[in-house]
Amino acid sequence: APVTVQHVTHQVAHTDEHGEHQHCEHVAAGLPNVATVFQEQKESVVAVRTEMASMNPSMSAMGPKRTPVGQGSGFVVDPEGYIITNYHVVQGASKIEVSFEEGRRLYEATLVGQDKATDLALLKIETDAPLRAVSFGQSDDLRVGDWVVAIGNPFGLEYTVTTGIVSAKSRRLGQGLYDNYLQTDASINPGNSGGPLFNLEGEVIGVNTAIIKDGQGIGFAIPVDMLSELLPQLRDHGYVVRGYIGANLQELTAQSIRQLGLSEEQEGILVAALQ
């Protein structure tokens, strides 16, 4: 098992009621061992580079044709060459490349699965040998304040590692029905999208996805529990099928509990309308 905590000690001196010096004891303080997490997990992290289809071919007559490019991050989820990234990283791409080891191993990737609703995409590359895949943790078990480590490709700077804590859970950003983000103050920037968020055990607990424009120390990740549920469908079918019951649902708030005359301990959801 990886060593995840570095211990440092400092001496604390005690004095008695007469102000005389007594013995000293060593007090241990735990610090996150980010270096160990990075060294053991970096082989599973990739940089993603895309080329987009030209939106206006006639523009080439006005000068040299430039192919729009994009970049993001990703990570290996299966030794056979399956890699997770964000849907918005590869959306509309005519060519997708992934690189390991700061560009020393470059592969062309195929998009095999995508889910716009949760901003997830699954890529596949062909390799001569099995790849090193990440292990999944459980995002539901995270506590606000737990240490996390992000590895990615911000602004094209491959294998950048940042650290922070879980700042909040179940954040809603107005992105759709499946808003359920982890918030972190680990530095997340353009190019980190699709990269892994690790706990100190080296397990992936989120997919780095979004930032708030002009915000500092405010990043968001898709919980890994959601990814775990969707990954088999992305791999086997290329898309996600969800159930539909034709009901408009609302959270059961304190105000609605009072209006309906329910007990304050009541839990659940409110069926607001049926279609």
237 included as an active-site residue: no
**Which of 188, 247, 248, 251 lies closest to 220 in space, CA to CA?**
188
Q: Which of 44, 139, 167, 193 is catalytic?
A: 193
141 included as an active-site residue: no
Q: Are 205 and 182 in contact (CB under 8 A)?
A: yes
Q: Which of 54, 88, 146, 185 is catalytic?
A: 88
| Cα 133 off chain centre by | 15
Q: Which of 73, 115, 119, 167 is catalytic?
A: 119
| CB neighbour list of residue 260: distance below 8 Å, 6 or more residues apart | none
H-helix segments, the chain: 34-41, 87-90, 224-236, 254-260
23 included as an active-site residue: no
CA distance linking residue 75 with residue 84, whole number of Å: 6
Tell me whether residue 78 is exposed, middle or buried, using C-beta atoms within 10 angstroms of its C-beta: 0 to 12, 13 to 18, 19 or more.
Answer: middle
Three-class secondary structure of residue 20 per DSSP: coil
Largest CA distance in the chain: 90
Which residues are catalytically annotated? 88, 119, 193
